[in-house]
Amino acid sequence: MKVSVVFGTYNRAELLRRSLDGYLRQRLPVDQLEIIAIDDWSTDDTGDVLADYARRLRIVAIRPPWKEPGTWRDSATILNIGLRAASGELVVSTHPEVIPGLDSLRAMHASQRARAYHACKAYYLNPAQQAALDTVDWRASNLALRALPGFYDGPADLDAPENAYAHAAMDRHRVWESLLFGGMTRDTWRWFGGLREFEGWGSVDVDFLHRRQALGMENVTELGDETICIHQNHDVQNQGVVRDVARAIAAVPRYDRPQDALLANL
């Protein structure tokens, strides 16, 4: 297997359908792709969606240990389960609402290097753009989003850190550090040790960056237009989740020595 894609999901069936359509249209042949979907006890029709698409994609659906419906669980806990199960040469970690670009997986596999992090950029949709998503032919190409009214409207100062997620800024980025859609070779994940698990929201993303920096890992960001992903807006699904950025950052440990950044979670 050339590429494994790992994501956890909870009650995002409608968003998941679109992302799975994105994997069906990949320039990487579907017989060279496996999807490891960890369904964290969804109460919607997520199971039916995965079963439907499993007729056309290789999908390994996993249920983690039981949790009460509606309770929160750290994403790293879920993703580590999938990282252990993955068999691909390149293992990509992502989210169920992310629609890959036509060439995302083929390009990442072609450029893979040991002890490097491979990432794709993404357009992050606001609620209005999410509502208008199906008015353009994104199934033909994610670049169809550029035709949405006002798609590039936004801040004038694209170099300001707070504007890094603006669509026009995303087109300019040469390096993208986010865990949104990125991966490593399977051997590199084993060496890296998976993700550090936290009790609160958001820390895993910051910690993942700090660990890679402590280890001096190379970032290989795909720059082709057809590798840009779509991050669907999921504000409705995330209602009630407390997002405290300062607290998330404060929970991340220091890595004074490179070896401290290596874990044994896999």
* pLDDT tens readout for residues 162-191: 999 999 999 999 999 999 999 999 999 999
CATH class held by domain 3-261: alpha beta
Domain ranges of the chain: 3-261
* Sole residue written with tokens 């670009």: 101
Kindly tell me if the per-residue pLDDT of 40 is higher than 80: yes
Question: 88-122 burial, b if ≥16 CB within 10 A, otherwise e?
Answer: bebbbbbbbbbbbbbbbbbbbbeebeeebbbbbbb
* Sole residue written with tokens 């399977």: 186
Kindly tell me if the per-residue pLDDT of 5 is higher than 70: yes
C-alpha–C-alpha distance, residues 28 and 51, integer Å = 22
Q: CB-based burial of residue 176 (10 Å sphere; 0-12 exposed, 13-18 middle, 19+ buried)?
A: buried
For 59-103, write each residue's pLDDT tens digit. Answer: 999 999 988 877 778 889 999 999 999 999 999 999 999 999 999
Hey, how many other C-beta atoms are within 10 angstroms of the C-beta on 205? 19
